[in-house]
Amino acid sequence: MTTRRSTLILIALLLLFGCGKQPKLNRLANDATILAFGDSLTFGTGATPETSYPTMLASLIARPVINAGVPGNTTADGLTRFAATLDATPPRLVILCLGGNDFLQRKPQEETIANLRAMLDEAKRRNLPVLLVATPKLALGLKVPDFYAELAKEYQLPLESESLVRILADNKLKSDPIHPNAEGYRQLAEALAERLRKAGAVANH
């Protein structure tokens, strides 16, 4: 009985730690371009261009990061320009952060998921790795919709789902009700840099 109990505990621990693992990414060359694709959160609304998260992330990981954020973009807007933006860059990795404007405009969730899935399909067709960034919506506070985790699991992508919830819940880190300030963007850049390190895309310090 003791042996069986020990075995069950071991299995439970393996499952627990296994659930926390995220997919790995190939190491990026030092000159590999990263495309930060999104809306005003990527553009850096509420701060200066120098303190947008893509600019600060480039400094943290010592790789070029192109800012392809367009304020006001929904996932539908993003989808219309995604392929052309990839053609123009072209990147070695995409950071995809969209969804906030869909929530603000009360777009059907199925539409948001379909648009994100279409962009992920396009990246997959090009063999482009993606780091998915979940944006929260208002629901008795800030909450990240479950579909981000479901998409990350389906496409085997690393997911950053905690930093924006924490940042946008702290008034000291915001320039207005829905955008970070320079310090908020710095913390987002640090979280993304750490996610890239854990995924193996860049080396640890």
Q: pLDDT tens digits for 108-150?
A: 999 999 999 999 999 999 999 999 999 999 766 789 999 999 9
CATH topology of domain 2-199: Rossmann fold (3.40.50)
Q: What is the pLDDT of residue 8?
A: 47
The tokens for 162 are 């905690």
Of 201 and 10, more confident: 201
Q: What is the pLDDT of residue 205?
A: 63
Q: With 90 as the cut, is the pLDDT of residue 7 above it?
A: no
pLDDT, averaged across the chain? 91
Band of the pLDDT at 3, cuts 50, 70, 90? low
Q: What is the pLDDT of residue 17?
A: 39
Of 131 and 8, more confident: 131
Band of the pLDDT at 204, cuts 50, 70, 90? confident
Burial of residue 19 (CB within 10 Å: 0-12, 13-18, 19+) is exposed
Of 200 and 9, more confident: 200
Q: pLDDT tens digits for 10-53?
A: 444 444 434 456 789 999 999 999 999 999 999 999 999 999 99
Query: At residue 67, what are phi and psi to the nearest 5 degrees?
Result: -90, 105
SS3 177: coil
Select from 74, 68, 53 the least CA-distant residue to 185. Answer: 53
Q: What is the pLDDT of residue 36?
A: 98
